[in-house]
Amino acid sequence: MKKLFALTSGIALCAGMAAANEDLSKMMEDPGQWVIQTGDYKNQRYSKLDQINKDNVGDMQVAWTFSTGVLRGHEGSPLVIGDTMYLHTPFPNIVYALDLANDGKIKWKYEPKQDPEVIPVMCCDTVNRGVAYADGKIFLHQADTTVVALNAETGAVEWSVANGDASKGETNTATVMPVKDKILVGISGGEFGVRGSLTAYNISDGSLAWRAYSMGPDSDILMDPENTMNLGKPVGENSGTNTWEGDQWMIGGGTTWGWYSYDPELNLVYYGTGNPSTWNPAQRPGDNRWSMTIMARDADTGMAKWVYQMTPHDEWDYDGVNEMILTEQTIDGQERKLLTHFDRNGLGYTLDRVTGELLVAEKFDPAVNWTTGVVMDKESPEYGRPQVVAQYSTEQNGEDVNSTGICPAALGSKDQQPAAYSPNTELFYVPTNHVCMDYEPFRVSYTAGQPYVGATLAMYPAPESHGGMGNFIAWDGKKGEIKWSIPEQFSVWSGALATAGDVVFYGTLEGYLKAVDANTGDLLYKFKTPSGIIGNVMTYTYDDQQFVGILSGVGGWAGIGLAAGLANPNDGLGAVGGYAALSDYTALGGQLTVFKLPN
């Protein structure tokens, strides 16, 4: 009888969890709510709301504001579930629940007690990309890697689990993605020799479901030598160790601090892995698989269906963690399930997300010079590999040699700041960096918990261009072409939002929220918020009125000089010098600004 009771209880629990996340999927279909950081599982960051549109967005005004009480970089966005807004901060990762029915009154506040010693081992500022919601819980992945489930109504801790060890350099900056009865979380720390992984925990109690490492033995990376495919061919045995020298894979990087997407029909989760450790390529010969890789994994088991390594043996710190945007588009008369990815390496990729077939790989910033392009001939042994220009190869130039004029810089033609996609225009709207660098690798030894970088960098605007450090572009993913481009003085470090009103929103490092025409890129509206914007634009409705929200609070890698009070141009891995002029336009802050049309 006890066994029967346990079995039926387990079935009931599974059914309940499935129903809970079916409810989450239905909530995603309600444009009045913003229930996941990416807008939906597809990472499209598209809203069907059109009350604010290209004809009236110029009339938009501030509706209300909220101070987070925290400085440094504010990435991510709030969530809106029903009449409650859930808002997060950078370290110490405070979570607020605000009552939209009561003038934004604080319903509850959660402030974790974290050791401030985690701050020095966080690369590129103390940012956090937001909370997640599922099954009546708010999920927070703290800087110290503690994953916390909070009661959405009360803020009480329902369970918590440590995903990593900050003393080894393992930290977190990413959001959490709920999928079915699990939540998926990544890990940061590639600059400390952390071996990257994606981990699934059970929503009900935080118990471990599976963990897939980025490199290591087949059992660690959850790859089937015969059935996990790489550009149409099996990966083979020991694919996660045989392109590493000795046991270097154990400190190999490939961290997973970006964004995750999910296709419920295929039951596949998509994400990217980061740079191999160290930044000195001479110390880690080989392709360093599976760093710099797009992964497609079964959500239930973590087993990889297919992989594609974009930058084998990365020599420039071009982390591959940026978002994977899922679309259905017609190519050669056939509708296909596509995945589009704008990589730090400056190439925009389009793949068939069912099979992993590579369809497009083109430069989305004309300044990119480290490669002549990707080999697209399927019969070539070099198929899928970028062709490296020797002049900009930091390995060929050698250790202690300053390779100059490399484009893009290490922070990429685009970092984690997410793009948006509009099914109306079939265009992607991409916040980009227009930055180049000098890069000098040097030999470094590994000590757990200490920086494991091995390179000195300087950054500056791309030469022979508009003089600025960024562009906001519209991209045709099927053709691999820029449709229009808006030059910006600094990198565009804000996540974009596209709407059915044919408006695209984004923020700037100086602090402007901007609205542009989705078809032409013409500026329709701008407003200066109190601090630089590295947050992501979101939208929701309340009382039948559409609102647009954005977090301002300068920081992140581009704003690390301001955020951390650094002055040496080489600090912040070269960003302090590159973005020194930013202090002439903005200062530290931490505020949510919400906009609406006049009543």
Mean per-residue pLDDT over the chain, rounded: 95
In this predicted structure, what is the pLDDT of residue 573? 87
Q: pLDDT of 541-554, one tens digit each?
A: 999 999 999 999 99
pLDDT reading at 12 higher than 50: no
In this predicted structure, what is the pLDDT of residue 21? 63
DSSP state of 123: T
Question: Does the annotation list 317 as a binding residue?
Answer: yes
Tell me the C-alpha to C-alpha distance, in Å, between residue 242 and each of 146, 279, 290, 304: 33, 20, 11, 18
The average pLDDT across 338-366 equals 98
Q: pLDDT of 243-265, one tens digit each?
A: 999 999 999 999 999 999 999 99
pLDDT reading at 220 higher than 50: yes
Residue 54's pLDDT band (boundaries 50, 70, 90)?
A: very high
Q: pLDDT of 114-167, one tens digit each?
A: 999 999 999 899 999 999 999 999 999 999 999 999 999 999 999 999 999 999
**H-run or E-run covering 15:** helix 2-28
Residue 10's pLDDT band (boundaries 50, 70, 90)?
A: very low
Residue count (the chain): 599
- Kindly calculate the radius of gyration of the chain based on its CA atoms and give it in whole angstroms: 22
Work out the widest C-alpha separation in the chain, in whole angstroms: 78
d(CA 466, CA 535): 25
Q: pLDDT of 263-288, one tens digit each?
A: 999 999 999 999 999 999 999 999 99
d(CA 314, CA 290): 11
Helix segments in 554-595, DSSP class H: 560-564, 575-578
In this predicted structure, what is the pLDDT of residue 332? 85
Q: Which residues touch 15 (CB under 8 Å, ≥6 apart)?
A: none
Q: Do β-strands 177-179 and 538-542 pair in parallel, antiparallel, or remain unpaired?
A: unpaired
d(CA 416, CA 493): 8
In this predicted structure, what is the pLDDT of residue 424? 97
d(CA 117, CA 589): 22
Question: Does the annotation list 191 as a binding residue?
Answer: yes
The average pLDDT across 179-200 equals 98
Burial class (CB in 10 A: 0-12, 13-18, 19+), 406: buried
Mind telling me the catalytic residues?
A: 317
Name the residue type at position 271. Y
Closest CA relative to residue 308, chosen from 373, 357, 368, 363: 357
Return the half-sphere exposure (C-beta side, CA atoms, 13 A cut-off) of residue 286.
21
pTM flag (> 0.75)? yes
User: Which strands, in side-by-side order, build the sheet including 591-596?
Assistant: 61-67, 591-596, 545-552, 538-542
- Residue owning tokens 């309340």: 542
The pair of three-digit structure tokens given for residue 368, joined into one six-digit string = 């990119």
In this predicted structure, what is the pLDDT of residue 167? 94
In this predicted structure, what is the pLDDT of residue 22? 67
- 375 contacts 382 by C-beta, under 8 angstroms: yes
Question: Does the annotation list 129 as a binding residue?
Answer: yes
In this predicted structure, what is the pLDDT of residue 3? 36
The average pLDDT across 11-23 equals 51
d(CA 389, CA 505): 36
Q: Which residues touch 584 (CB under 8 Å, ≥6 apart)?
A: none
d(CA 311, CA 410): 13
Question: Does the annotation list 22 as a binding residue?
Answer: no
Burial class (CB in 10 A: 0-12, 13-18, 19+), 59: exposed
pLDDT reading at 2 higher than 80: no
Closest CA relative to residue 192, chosen from 121, 144, 125: 121
Closest CA relative to residue 580, chosen from 597, 594, 598, 568: 568
Tell me the C-alpha to C-alpha distance, in Å, between residue 509 and each of 87, 488, 555, 557, 579: 21, 9, 9, 11, 10
Instruction: Measure CA of the first residue to CA of the last residue in the chain; give whole Å.
Output: 63
- 151 contacts 160 by C-beta, under 8 angstroms: no
Q: Which residues touch 187 (CB under 8 Å, ≥6 apart)?
A: 145, 163, 164, 170, 171, 172, 194, 196, 197, 199, 255, 256, 257
d(CA 142, CA 136): 19
Lowest-confidence pick of 180-194, 299-313, 563-577: 563-577
- 515 contacts 526 by C-beta, under 8 angstroms: yes
Return the half-sphere exposure (C-beta side, CA atoms, 13 A cut-off) of residue 348.
25
Q: pLDDT of 521-531, one tens digit each?
A: 999 999 999 99
Q: Could you tell me what percent of the chain has a pLDDT over 70?
A: 96
The torsion angles phi and psi of 206, rounded to 5 degrees, stand at: 80, 10
Question: Does the annotation list 145 as a binding residue?
Answer: no
d(CA 455, CA 447): 16
Domains of the chain as residue ranges with CATH: 31-52+67-596 (2.140.10.10)
Bridge partners of 453, per DSSP, are none
- 350 contacts 477 by C-beta, under 8 angstroms: yes
